[in-house]
């Protein structure tokens, strides 16, 4: 099982975006998450590297074509090297042949046509499940190996398929259109090159039938909105025993009642009274791991300031450690007060010199200067 972040989603562009849109999106994202702007924050550094990797692929037409067809698998040949370098694809001719090989190699096309389709499943998780990882049982309705004929496509145990007479076993037929010769899948054998003479009544010769099945999937800790998990060989069954497709699970996050998530950082908006802001104090937050997190409030804190608790955030996907928990302070002014409270505040106001609030003092000094003193 493999966890992948889609390059297009990382940059925030649609799959059909042009080069200018991709470049503009990269510049914006790189500026936002550059480590120098965040004091060397490891979360932002990892995000910056991921964005740069996505741009490096999508800005190159050949790499982008390979990624659109094969995803990150296109760059894992030769131990993760560039597919267009030695050890991967042998230059543009090979990648062209791989992508458009159905027009050149009938045998390869037969295999591609018979392979089962990939499937997509959208999975919704809570923040707690994403933090610790979980195992989910999902129900998939898709073409699976026919139980009646055990995937053979015919009722007999011996061979019951003959070479297709329309395409002579190539799985392709050609049609002349002006100066061009166009190839398409054979309509008789549907690209397999063979015709079943005694087809199974359940699957009508395909060797697969629509069924529902349950699948247990392990979700690693640290997944986020848009994370893509590839489960190899759990897609649709291939025609008459051909290779199965893959299952792609796309993660979606439920809204949390307390925390907002920014990568591996958890942010909570924490309203405090103006007396706590003035005198200082502490608040307790329920950690995402179930442990209590104490946030100390320094005296004189202002609304909008952020207090960071290191290591209190989300798990790092495919890595070690955790992000941070951030308490964003919101100073709340009381809307209802007793007569005693009002009297105490009046007494406090009589003792004010203006130095207690330097920002306000500076502001009104500038206002007086604009009015000529």
146 annotated binding-site participant: yes
Nearest Cα to 149, choosing from 196, 209, 189, 207? 207
Classify strands 119-125 and 247-253 as parallel, antiparallel or unpaired.
parallel
Alpha helices in 166-302 (DSSP H): 274-279
41 annotated binding-site participant: no
Classify strands 180-185 and 259-262 as parallel, antiparallel or unpaired.
unpaired
Element holding 249 (H helix, E strand): strand 247-253
Place of tokens 């800005």: 59
270 annotated binding-site participant: no
Assess contact for 280 and 299: CB atoms under 8 A.
yes
186 annotated binding-site participant: yes
For 148, the 3-state DSSP assignment is: coil
189 annotated binding-site participant: yes
Nearest Cα to 209, choosing from 288, 270, 127, 151? 151
Assess contact for 252 and 127: CB atoms under 8 A.
no
357 annotated binding-site participant: no
33 annotated binding-site participant: no
200 annotated binding-site participant: yes
User: Which residue numbers belong to the known binding site for Zn(2+)?
Assistant: 146, 149, 164, 167, 186, 189, 200, 203
Binding site listing:
146, 149, 164, 167, 186, 189, 200, 203
């Amino acid at each position: 099982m493999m966890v992948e972040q889609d390059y297009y989603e990382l940059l925030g562009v649609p799959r059909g975006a042009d080069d200018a849109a991709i470049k503009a999106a990269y510049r914006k994202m790189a500026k936002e998450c550059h480590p120098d702007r965040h004091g060397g924050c490891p979360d932002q550094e990892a995000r910056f590297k991921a964005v740069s990797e996505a741009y490096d692929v999508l800005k190159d037409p050949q790499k982008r074509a390979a990624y659109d067809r094969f995803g990150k698998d296109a760059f894992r040949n030769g131990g993760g090297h560039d597919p267009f370098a030695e050890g991967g694809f042998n230059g543009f001719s090979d990648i062209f042949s791989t992508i458009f090989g159905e027009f050149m190699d009938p045998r390869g096309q037969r295999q591609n046509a018979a392979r089962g389709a990939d499937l997509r499943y959208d999975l919704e998780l809570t923040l707690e499940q994403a933090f610790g990882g979980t195992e989910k049982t999902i129900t998939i309705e898709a073409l699976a190996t026919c139980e009646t004929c055990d995937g053979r496509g015919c009722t007999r145990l011996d061979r019951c398929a003959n070479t297709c007479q329309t395409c002579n076993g190539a799985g392709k037929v050609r049609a002349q259109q002006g100066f061009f010769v166009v190839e398409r899948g054979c309509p008789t054998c549907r690209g397999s090159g063979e015709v079943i003479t005694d087809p199974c009544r359940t699957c009508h010769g395909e060797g697969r039938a629509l069924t529902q099945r349950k699948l247990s999937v392990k979700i690693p800790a640290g997944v986020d909105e848009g994370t893509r998990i590839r489960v190899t060989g759990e897609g649709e069954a291939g025609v008459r025993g051909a290779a199965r497709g893959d299952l792609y699970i796309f993660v979606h996050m439920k809204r949390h009642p307390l925390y907002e998530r920014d990568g591996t950082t958890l942010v909570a908006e924490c309203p405090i009274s103006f007396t706590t802001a003035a005198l200082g104090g502490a608040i307790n937050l329920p950690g995402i791991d179930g442990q209590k997190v104490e946030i100390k409030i320094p005296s004189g804190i202002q609304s909008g300031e952020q207090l960071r608790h290191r290591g209190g955030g989300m798990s790092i996907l495919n890595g070690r450690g955790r992000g941070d928990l951030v308490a964003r302070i919101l100073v709340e002014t009381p809307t209802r007060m007793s007569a005693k409270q009002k009297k105490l505040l009046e007494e406090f106001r009589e003792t004010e010199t203006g130095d207690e609030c330097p920002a306000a003092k500076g502001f009104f000094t500038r206002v007086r200067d604009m009015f000529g003193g």
